[in-house]
């Protein structure tokens, strides 16, 4: 998902999000404000993955056939900040959903007073332990991980072969050498879409956060005022990586949006793109059978530390603790059915195209595509790091993105850019 920090993106989902989407789609009708009438229960679901809206509706219809006393009212609002504002408005108006999605970490803290404790649910034992971390607080589990998503530089295998690149780049020096070979072969190395703040402020900058010796300690230090972004080696190296993509990228990177960026890559006009497995459906549509894979976004020349992809949970399903008891019971049962039933498992990988966050759900490359399969491979090899941007103060990602756009536009120095990032954190932290 592109990050909306979704979707898009999940993963959104992340992440969902497709980023930049602001679609609002509602299906179903609430029976009454209590959520049940004449033994019937209507479960309200609010989620941000625009790309699965129809598939989720079809799946809830299947659940209703098995449980005729339960129907669903689905609302999908993508676009990150728009989705978050819409969810807050639902609560403020007294029409809180029974099930909704959050990113976890900071949003778990933000929403904790509204979340039902799901620690006793049967699916908990089947989830990957790391997938539960974003919604675990004080030893309690508040969310069911929707899926796993990941990103790096997706690359076009055919163009790499055409440029004579026989060894995949895993370090900064190797990446620059590959870019030179591509350019010499008349191929634009990078499709760059820096009109999107989340590409820079969330996904890009995350690499510098995630490669700290102790990312959690660094974030805590920023909150305490004992850590600094300015002068930190990993953030300086991220700006070097940013310079590399601009130098060897398409023209007008600051006016290239997500759709244009993916279209350039899918059309073979550029060999690499900073995005995640959420672009697979677009690639399948624009260029069926395109041979793609992932390489890392390296900040060093040490492959042991650089050869990793950013993989995490873009969104988790949560249940409103203030919902009527009948709604809560139905909501929990549906979430368990979602990841334990044959229908739910099949829909997750074949219809949603999700990388499962559960050990009990199998995903084949034919279901999730080559990018998803590559993420699974990296995950099994333990070559991943987490999405630290979910720990930013509220609103920091957008401001970080704007600051980095100013840098890309050559209107700020490296030093001033990193100082501005520090200032944003200090201003927004709680």
Domain CATH number, residue 103: 3.40.190.10
**162 and 36 co-located in one domain:** no
**139 and 157 co-located in one domain:** no
Q: What is the pLDDT of residue 414?
A: 98
Query: Which of residues 312, 344, 377 is at a domain's end?
Result: 312
419 found inside a domain: no
425 found inside a domain: no
**228 and 206 co-located in one domain:** yes
**pLDDT tens sequence across 18-31:** 333 334 445 544 44
Given a cut of 60, is residue 197 above it in pLDDT?
yes
Which residues lie closer than 8 Å to 300 by C-beta, 6 or more apart? 171, 172, 211, 237, 306
49 — pLDDT class (breaks 50, 70, 90): confident
**258 and 285 co-located in one domain:** yes
Name which residue leads in pLDDT, 50 or 414. Answer: 414
**305 and 344 co-located in one domain:** no
Per-residue pLDDT, averaged over 110-115, amounts to: 96
Dihedral sign computed on CA atoms, order 188, 193, 195, 200: negative
Q: What is the pLDDT of residue 114?
A: 98
Q: Are 7 and 49 in contact (CB under 8 A)?
A: yes
The DSSP result for 362-401, as a single string, is ---HHHHHHHHHHHHHHHHTT-EE--GGGGSPTTHHHHHH
Q: What is the pLDDT of residue 157?
A: 98
Helix (H, G, I), strand (E, B) or coil at 304: helix
Which residues lie closer than 8 Å to 427 by C-beta, 6 or more apart? none
> At residue 428, what are phi and psi to the nearest 5 degrees?
-100, -15
77 — pLDDT class (breaks 50, 70, 90): confident
**308 and 320 co-located in one domain:** no
171 found inside a domain: yes
Q: What is the pLDDT of residue 36?
A: 54
Q: What is the pLDDT of residue 293?
A: 97
Given a cut of 50, is residue 146 above it in pLDDT?
yes
409 found inside a domain: no
327 — pLDDT class (breaks 50, 70, 90): very high
What total number of domains does the chain contain? 2
**171 and 307 co-located in one domain:** yes
423 found inside a domain: no
The 3-state DSSP composition of the chain as helix, strand, coil percent (nearest 5) reads 50, 15, 35
Name which residue leads in pLDDT, 168 or 1. Answer: 168
**142 and 156 co-located in one domain:** no
Query: Which of residues 300, 327, 361 is at a domain's end?
Result: 361
Name which residue leads in pLDDT, 326 or 4. Answer: 326
Name which residue leads in pLDDT, 137 or 27. Answer: 137
Per-residue pLDDT, averaged over 183-206, amounts to: 97
Q: Are 101 and 315 in contact (CB under 8 A)?
A: yes
Query: Which of residues 247, 278, 312 is at a domain's end?
Result: 312
Please report, for residues 28, 78, 87, 96, 353, the alpha-carbon distance to residue 93 in angstroms, rounded to integers and kept in the order given: 19, 20, 10, 8, 34
Per-residue pLDDT, averaged over 393-421, amounts to: 97
Average pLDDT, the chain: 90
84 — pLDDT class (breaks 50, 70, 90): confident
| Range of the structural domain that residue 108 is part of | 24-148+313-361
**191 and 340 co-located in one domain:** no
18 found inside a domain: no
**70 and 84 co-located in one domain:** yes
Per-residue pLDDT, averaged over 404-415, amounts to: 98
Q: Which residue in 66, 7, 54, 62 sits closest to 27, CA to CA?
A: 54
| Percent of the chain clearing pLDDT 70 (strictly above) | 90
Given a cut of 80, is residue 13 above it in pLDDT?
no
Given a cut of 80, is residue 271 above it in pLDDT?
yes
124 found inside a domain: yes
Q: What is the pLDDT of residue 81?
A: 62
> At residue 115, what are phi and psi to the nearest 5 degrees?
-105, 135
11 found inside a domain: no
Count CB atoms within 10 A of the CB of residue 415: 12
């Amino acid at each position: 998902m592109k990050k909306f920090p979704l979707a898009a993106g999940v993963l959104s989902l992340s992440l969902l999000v497709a980023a930049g989407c602001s679609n609002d789609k509602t299906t179903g009708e609430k029976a009454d404000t209590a959520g049940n009438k004449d033994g019937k229960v209507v479960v309200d679901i609010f989620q941000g993955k625009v790309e699965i809206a129809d598939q989720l509706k079809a799946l809830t219809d299947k659940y209703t056939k098995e449980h005729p006393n339960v129907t669903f009212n689905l609302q999908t609002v993508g676009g990150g900040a728009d989705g978050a504002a819409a969810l807050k408005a639902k609560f403020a108006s007294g029409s809180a959903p029974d099930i909704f999605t959050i990113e976890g970490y900071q949003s778990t803290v933000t929403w904790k007073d509204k979340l039902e404790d799901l620690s006793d649910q049967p699916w908990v034992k089947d989830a990957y332990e790391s997938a539960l971390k974003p919604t675990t607080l004080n030893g309690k589990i508040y969310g069911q991980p929707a899926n796993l998503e990941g990103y790096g530089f997706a690359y076009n295998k055919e163009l790499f072969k055409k440029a004579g690149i026989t060894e995949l780049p895993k370090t900064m020096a190797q990446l620059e050498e590959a870019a030179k070979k591509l350019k010499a072969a008349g191929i634009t190395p990078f499709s760059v879409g820096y009109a999107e703040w989340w590409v820079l402020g969330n996904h890009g900058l995350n690499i510098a956060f995630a490669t700290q010796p102790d990312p959690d300690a660094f974030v805590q230090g920023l909150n305490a005022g004992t850590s600094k972004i300015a002068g930190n080696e990993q953030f300086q190296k991220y700006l070097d990586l940013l310079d590399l993509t601009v130098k060897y990228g398409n023209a007008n990177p600051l006016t290239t949006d997500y759709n244009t960026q993916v279209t350039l890559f899918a059309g073979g006009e550029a060999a690499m793109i900073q995005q995640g497995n959420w672009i697979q459906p677009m690639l399948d549509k624009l260029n069926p059978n395109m041979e793609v894979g992932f390489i890392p976004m390296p900040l060093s020349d040490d492959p042991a530390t650089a050869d990793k992809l950013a993989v995490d949970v873009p969104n988790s399903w949560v249940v409103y603790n203030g919902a009527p008891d009948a709604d809560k019971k139905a909501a929990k049962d549906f979430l368990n059915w979602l990841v334990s039933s044959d229908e739910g498992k099949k829909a997750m990988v074949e219809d949603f195209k999700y990388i499962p966050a559960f050990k009990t759900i199998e995903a084949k490359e034919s279901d999730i595509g080559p990018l998803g399969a590559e993420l699974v491979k990296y995950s099994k090899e333990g070559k991943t790091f987490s999405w630290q941007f979910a720990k930013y103060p509220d609103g920091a990602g957008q401001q970080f993105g704007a600051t980095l756009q100013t840098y890309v536009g050559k209107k700020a120095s490296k030093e001033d850019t990193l100082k501005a990032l520090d200032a944003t954190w200090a201003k927004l932290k709680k």
